[in-house]
Amino acid sequence: MVQTRSQAKLARPLLAPFVFDFDESSAAWKANKKRMGNGTYKYICGVLTKNNTLCQRTPLANHCHCAQHQSF
């Protein structure tokens, strides 16, 4: 017997269930922010410095980096 389009759609395997890792996405969201307390956060420059730490300065208005790292 010939299979119709609707029968073929029903026979297709369903997609795998979506797994959302909240801890990983929370860490990614906090990567360029500094905790200020009381549940508030402030953006940081985040450029890797000479001693392998992230620059903690506040970025310029409408920019991603501080004045020192503006050329990046």
pLDDT at 41 > cutoff 80: yes
pTM of the model: 0.63
pLDDT at 10 > cutoff 90: no
Residue 60 is predicted with a pLDDT of: 94
Mean local confidence (pLDDT), 23-48: 94
CA 67 to chain centre: 24
Distance between CA atoms of 30 and 46, rounded to whole angstroms? Answer: 11
**If you average pLDDT over every residue of the chain, what do you get?**
90
